[in-house]
Structure 1
Amino acid sequence: MRINIIQHTPNERPGSILDWAHDRGHDVYIYHPYQFGILPKVDETDMLVIMGGPMSVNDDIDWIEFERDIIKELAEKDVPIYGACFGAQQIAKTFGAKITTSTAKEVGWAPVYLRSERIPGIYNKLTAMHWHGEMFEIPKNGELLFSSDLVENQGFIIGDRIVGLQFHFELGTDEVREIVTNDNKYVAGSDLNQTNEDILSKPVPKENKQVMYAILDYIAK
C-alpha cells in the first residue's frame, strides 16, 4: 500500500505513523506543499495522512484548498484518511464543519477521554500532546471520538475509514523535542500552564504509540 503523508512544517513529523507504515510493510511518500507546492495525486494514494502545522485551514492559500479537494475525492473512493491537528481540521472543513478559535489554547500535555467504542484497543483515558489554538466542529456525518477537559471536540471518526484528532499521539521523544525547540514561543499563554521545561521533562506515554497503531490498523483494514 502506498501511504502519502502531507507534512506542513519541518518540525511536525509523522513519528510513530512512519513506524507503523514500515512495520506493516507499506511504502511511504512524504509531501511538503508549504515549500514545494506539490500534493499527492488521488490515483497514487492508497492511504492519506495529513499532519499538523502552524497555518490555519481558513487561510487563503491555494494549496490548502487543493488539499481539501484531494480529501473529498479520496473520501468518495473510500480511501483511508488520518488527520492530526491541522490535518483533522482540514478533514472537518472538507465535510462542512466550521473551524474557529479554540475555547482554550491547549499547548502541552493533558488527558483525553475516549467517547466512542468504535475502534478496539483504545484506553478510556490517555495523556496526549496538545499544540493548537483553533478547534473543529464534529462533521455532521462524524462521531465524537475524544474529548479533553478544556475542549470537547478533540477527535472524530467518519464511517470506518476516516479519523481526525486535534492532538498528537504520533509524537515520540525526538519529535516532542523538535517541536519545543523550534516553536517554544507558542507555549506562552497556554491554558495548560506548562513551561517548555515542563513539557520536555514528561516522558512520552508508551500507550500513545499503541493507540496510534490501533487507529491506523482500523482505518486501513
Structure 2
Amino acid sequence: MRINILQHTPNEGPGSIRNWAEKYGHKIYVYHPYQFNGILPTADQTDMLIILGGPMSPNDHLIWIAEERNLIQELLNRNIPMFGACFGAQQIAKAMGYAVTKSPAKEVGWAPVYPQTTTIPNLPNKLVALHWHEEIFEIPKEAELLFSSDAVKNQGFILNHRVVGLQFHFEPQDNDVREIVTNDAAYVKGTIFNQTATDILNTPVPKENQETMFQILNYISNNKD
C-alpha cells in the first residue's frame, strides 16, 4: 500500500504512523506542500492519506491549502482511507463543508481524552494525548463523534469506517515531542492546562498512544492484525 503523508511543518512528523507503515510493509511518501510549491500527490497515487498538523489554519487563503482540500474531497468520493491530526482533521471537516472556528479553550500540553463510541473496538476508556491547538472543527453530520476532552467536546470523528480525524495527537513519540517543544515552546503560553514547556517535556509519552494509533490505522485500512 502507498501511504501519502502531508506534513505541514518540520517539527510535526508522522511519528508512530511511520512505525505502523514499516511494521506492515507499506511504502510512505512524505509531501511538504507548505515549502515545496504546493506539491501534492494525485488521488490515483494514493492508497491511504495521512494529513498531519501545522501552525496554519484551514481558513487561511493559501492556494495549496485549498488544493489539499480538493484532494481530500476526491479521496472522500473514492472511499480511500484517511487519517487527519489537528490541522489535518480540520482540513477534512472543512473539505466536507463544515466550519473550523476558534476553540472555547486553548489546549496545549498533555490532557485526557475519552472515547465516545465503540465503533473502533477495544479503545481504552481514557487516554492522555498531546494537545497543540486553539481552533476546532465542527463534527460533520455524516460522521460520528469519536473523542471528547474535559474542555472541548469535538475532539475526534469517524466517517464511513474509512476516515478518522483527531483534534489532538496520538502519533508523537518522545523524540517528536522534544522536537515540537524545542521549536514551538512559545505556543504553550495561555494554555488552560497551565503546563510549562518543561512540564510537557518531562511527561513520558504513554505507551497506549502508539497502540491506539495502530488500532485506528488498522481499522480504517481493514487491516487484520
Residue 44 (structure 1) aligns with = 45
Is 1:82–1:163's contact at 8 Å kept on the other side of the alignment? yes
Residue 123 (structure 1) aligns with = 124
Aligned residue pairs, count: 221
Residue 34 (structure 1) aligns with = 34
CA distance in 2, matches of 1:124, 1:166: 18
Tell me, what secondary structure is at the counterpart of 2:35? helix
CA distance in 2, matches of 1:34, 1:172: 23
Q: Any gaps of 5 or more consecutive residues in structure 1?
A: none
Residue 220 (structure 1) aligns with = 221
Residue 13 (structure 2) aligns with = 13
1:89-128 paired onto structure 2 within 5 Å = 89-128=90-129
Identity of aligned residues (%): 63
CA distance in 2, matches of 1:125, 1:177: 24
1:144-183 paired onto structure 2 within 5 Å = 144-183=145-184
Tell me, what secondary structure is at the counterpart of 2:83? strand
Structure 2 length as normaliser, TM-score?
0.97
CA distance in 1, matches of 2:25, 2:80: 18
CA distance in 2, matches of 1:200, 1:64: 31
Deviation at 1:7, TM superposition (A): 0.1
Residue 22 (structure 1) aligns with = 22
CA distance in 2, matches of 1:217, 1:168: 17
Tell me, what secondary structure is at the counterpart of 2:41? coil
Per-residue CA shift, 1:151-195, capped at 9, x if unaligned?
100000011000000000001000000000000000000111100
Residue 204 (structure 1) aligns with = 205
Structure 1 length as normaliser, TM-score?
0.99
Q: Any gaps of 5 or more consecutive residues in structure 2?
A: none
Residue 136 (structure 2) aligns with = 135
Amino acid at match of 2:92: I
Structure 1 stretch displaced more, 202-211 or 118-127? 118-127
CA distance in 1, matches of 2:29, 2:189: 34
CA distance in 2, matches of 1:197, 1:70: 38
